[in-house]
Amino acid sequence: MVLRIAFMGTPDFSVPLLRALVDAGHEIAAVYCQPPRPAGRRGLELTRSPVQRAAEALRLPVYTPRSLRSEEEQARFQALALDVAVVAAYGLLLPKAVLDAPRHGCFNAHASLLPRWRGAAPVQRAIMAGDAETGMMIMKMDEGLDTGAVACVEKVAIGQDMTAGELHDRLSQMAAGLMVQALAALEEGTLKLVAQSGQGVTYAQKISKEETRIDWRQPATGVHKHICGLSPFPGAWCEMEIAGKKERVKVLQSQLVKGFKGKVGQIEPESLTVCCADGAVRLVRLQRAGGKPLDGGAFVRGAPVRAVF
């Protein structure tokens, strides 16, 4: 049985899931994503989202409303006569009228082990908090923030040096397979929904600009996880003294170092090893403003570092 689906997503994360639904033979009645955003040095160019570009390449109808709260937008959505809506990192809240419109409701692919890390940045927050594992969950949406009943779950271990970018890509592929599995069970009438626990609820707030700066006064493990959790975007950063001037530099990859002692913030220039409150980290991959990402050796050869702040 083919399901008539509206797909709702915006970033790269969502693209494999859209393609998986098409490959599974479902009818994609509409694709919803956020509107094109200003880009370019002057912000005069409009850039379509990854999902919009993928949908247009697949010759699927695309809608990019700024909100779904108007009666006009809700009526258009209801007129699609959907079996189900599939949501993955869409970025807009779904009003009750939209949630209730599809025959089987709306199902969301959420990148955490709910109820831990409800909200906007579950991938980054799981790494930054030092979680040993996370996962992908398919959830039937309700009016709460990621509070709906769970249909499917798959777990993944978070390696010591795993970055948010690496985990993002892993979970993106998992979401595609898990949603196709959930929809197959929905078609067969065998999909089971389990209410979330009321214990262990945490919220994954958006990453603020203020918290992206590296604080060397933290233990090395915390500094390392901070760097991993913000790589590659938005990127953890510090200031470095290079050629007698302070420069803001992103640190995209690091490693924990044992047996290195010194004052907090002290750096060994050759290896780019920095002392923290407890232990040390080696800065493995860095990026100067306007420059390309470089491994530590290449970075040092082009920009001798005297201090970090």
Q: Indicate where the chain has its CATH 3.40.50.170 domain(s).
A: 4-203
In tens, the pLDDT along 175-223 reads 999 999 999 999 999 999 999 999 999 999 999 999 999 999 999 999 9
* % of the chain beyond a pLDDT of 70: 98
Asked whether residue 61 is marked as a ligand-binding residue, the answer is no
CATH number of 209-308: 3.10.25.10
Given this model, what pLDDT does residue 55 score? Answer: 98
Q: Indicate where the chain has its CATH 3.10.25.10 domain(s).
A: 209-308
Q: Which fold has domain 4-203?
A: Rossmann fold (3.40.50)
Given this model, what pLDDT does residue 1 score? Answer: 74
Q: What residues pair up with 246 in beta bridges, in sequence order? A: 241
Instruction: Tell how many helices (H) and how many strands (E) occur in the chain.
Output: 8, 18
Res 170 pLDDT > 70: yes
In tens, the pLDDT along 13-42 reads 999 999 999 999 999 999 999 999 987 666
The mean pLDDT of 281-292, rounded to a whole number, is 96
* % of the chain beyond a pLDDT of 90: 93
Distance between CA atoms of residues 183 and 261, nearest Å: 55
Q: Where are the alpha helices (DSSP H) in the chain?
A: 15-23, 50-57, 71-78, 96-99, 122-128, 164-188, 220-229, 296-302
What's the pLDDT band for 297 if we cut at 50, 70, 90? very high
The mean pLDDT of 147-163, rounded to a whole number, is 98
Given this model, what pLDDT does residue 38 score? Answer: 86
Asked whether residue 35 is marked as a ligand-binding residue, the answer is no
Asked whether residue 113 is marked as a ligand-binding residue, the answer is yes
Asked whether residue 115 is marked as a ligand-binding residue, the answer is yes
Distance between CA atoms of residues 225 and 279, nearest Å: 13
A 10 A CB-CB count for 125 gives 23
Mean pLDDT, the chain, whole residue set: 96
The pair of three-digit structure tokens given for residue 232, joined into one six-digit string: 């590659």
Given this model, what pLDDT does residue 41 score? Answer: 65
In tens, the pLDDT along 70-86 reads 999 999 999 999 999 99
* pTM listed for this prediction: 0.94
In tens, the pLDDT along 220-257 reads 999 999 999 999 999 999 999 998 899 999 999 999 99
